[in-house]
Chain A
Amino acid sequence: MKRSTRIRVNTILIEITLVIVSFIVFLPIILAITMSLQPPEHVFSFPPKLFPRGFEIQNFVQAFHTVPFARLLFNSMLIAVCTTAGKIVTGILAGYAFASFKFFGKSLAFAFLFATLFLPAETIMIVPLFSIMRKFGWVNTYWAMIIPFMASATNTFLFRQHFRTIPSELEDAAKIDGAGPLRYFWSILVPLSKAMIGGAAIINFVYAWNMYLWPLIVSMEDQMKTVQIGVKMMIDAESANNWGIIMAGTLVALFPTLLVFILLQGVFVKSLVRSGVKG
């Protein structure tokens, strides 16, 4: 009796703490929504409001005029979708090579790939990758924002791990039935990996959508920038500091990744833990 009441008290305490903590953690996003819906005359009201006085979409309309936001959204979407698709295709192919084949130089190739995880990507981008892009004539193009990110060690390892969990009897059976390695790959391995592909797609999409440093340095014209840079452009452009407009733009930039995350949280968390990628 005594113990069960103690457990119940604990549960209630934990429950209360969690309500408060989740509220605080999510509060910046709630307040951004409040601010974005605020009619202009209330933007500077003091003390600041917790919930909006009205429901104005004017700030969102304005956000699309302050910077070429529609174009930036298109750029971000194109870049995120292409790099995601690229990373998955190259990752599946390389993962298959490492999981199902013995070949000369395999462990060397593996080490070579593994070592890239310990090179700081941001540092490589700033000086040398930029100068390579200049040599290629790719500065200010989509190529610069897509091609260098079409493959990664993380994706290769993710698919290699996954393929190794698939029983090798399947491969033997396919061989006996006369299916070559490519046939086996295409009609057995890939269909069995749908969940893995989905998980990898989400992680790669969020990563690509949220990139900041690279688009900042490699896209000079406003037309070629991404939404992440667009948000910063808004802060710099709105000299009157109209936070209603800035928060509207911020929410538009945040919406795709937040939606994907909330809808597919389970898959997301599972794949994240499995891949152990950097945040």
Chain B
Amino acid sequence: MRKFLPYLLLIPTFLVIILFIYWPAADSFRMSLYKVSPFGNRMIYTGLGNFQKVFSSAEYRKAVLFTTLYVPVTVLLTIFISFFLALLLNQNVPGTRFYRTFIFAPYAVSPAIAGTLWTFLLNPVVGHVNYFFMAVFGTQVEWLTTKPYALIALFFASVWKMMPFDIIFYIAGLQSVPDELMESATLDGAGVLKKMWRIQFPMVSPITFYLVIMNIIVAMFSSFAIIDVMTKGGPGGYTTTMMYRLYLDAFAFQKTGPASAQSVIMFGLMAIITVIYFVFGERRVHYR
């Protein structure tokens, strides 16, 4: 009994991950090497043909470019704002519990709803943020349908949605910075800013590293809903990320082969991120 029990206990979990994670993952590798025959009734082996098609497509290259703009900026903004807010919340001034509830609230909001709320706030007629910008800068902006503004609109929603996760982790990290360290720095005459940059920021660097990795993953993959609700990848494909391109090719255009090749590219990117995480993460974790 004791001998077989652990295997029995693992069956449900492994059944699910094999059937619904590993099998489909392997399947997308296989499907990336095939194309659908002209009549759509069988699969023809094309080698790396799908990858060639993907890389030579101007639309895909555009999506790659947009992703390399959207992801890093979103992540940097989120990290900096979150660290700053975590520092404030970590001072434990009266009412901190209350402030935390409000600042953490977007965590409970789904990406789709975050997108809806910001679509409303930026609406040219009824939106408050839009009104605010008009009052301050005197220009009427079509946020979601004109070129640089659609990207800025995505930043608003993405950063707002991703922030609480980072703040929660930063607060946990800041609490582990020893009080004696901060006190002795104060006695040495270090100001608030100096303590922040020379002590607190380096002390939480393993957390920053973890958060950067997590934020990259979220911005690359889970921002799908925000984009689908707010801009649908537009105007004219401007805000189409690699993930959104993959969705469009798979469902709107039914290009199974190229879509599978794109999935494989995404797996590759994820593998690179993972390697970076373990190679550099290990070294930094020892810092603690």
What chain A residues lie within 8 Å of B273 (beta carbons)?
118
Per-position binary interface string of chain B over residues 8-28, scored 1 when its CB falls under 8 Å from any chain A CB and 0 otherwise: 011011111101111111011
In the complex the two chains form, is B27's CB within 8 Å of A28's CB? no
Is B2 part of the contact surface with A, judged by Cβ < 8 Å? yes
Per-position binary interface string of chain B over residues 197-218, scored 1 when its CB falls under 8 Å from any chain A CB and 0 otherwise: 0000000000000100011011
In the complex the two chains form, is A279's CB within 8 Å of B21's CB? no
Is B153 part of the contact surface with A, judged by Cβ < 8 Å? no
Q: Interface residues of A toward B: which range?
A: 35 or more
In the complex the two chains form, is B123's CB within 8 Å of A241's CB? yes
Expressed in whole angstroms, the minimum distance between the Cβ of B26 and any Cβ of chain A is: 8
Q: How many residues of B contact A (CB 8 A)?
A: 97
In the complex the two chains form, is A126's CB within 8 Å of B108's CB? no
Residues of B near any A CB (own CB < 8 A)? 1-3, 5-7, 9-10, 12-17, 19-25, 27-28, 31, 85, 88-89, 91, 93-96, 98-113, 116-121, 123, 125-128, 131, 135, 160-163, 165, 168-169, 172, 192, 210, 214-215, 217-218, 220-222, 224-225, 228-229, 243, 246-247, 250-251, 256, 259-260, 263, 266-267, 270-271, 273-274
Residues of A near any B CB (own CB < 8 A)? 10-11, 14-15, 17-19, 21-23, 25-29, 31-32, 35, 43-44, 46-48, 50, 89-91, 93-94, 96-97, 101, 103, 106, 109, 112-113, 116, 118-124, 126-132, 147-151, 153, 156, 180-182, 206, 209-213, 216-217, 228-229, 231-232, 235, 241, 243, 246-247, 250, 253-254, 257-258, 260-262, 265, 269, 272-273, 276, 278-279
| 25 A–B pairs (Cβ distance < 8 Å), ordered by A | A10-B192, A17-B88, A18-B89, A21-B85, A31-B121, A32-B117, A93-B12, A94-B12, A101-B2, A118-B270, A119-B270, A120-B220, A123-B221, A123-B266, A126-B251, A128-B31, A130-B250, A213-B247, A229-B112, A231-B229, A232-B112, A235-B116, A241-B125, A253-B113, A273-B172
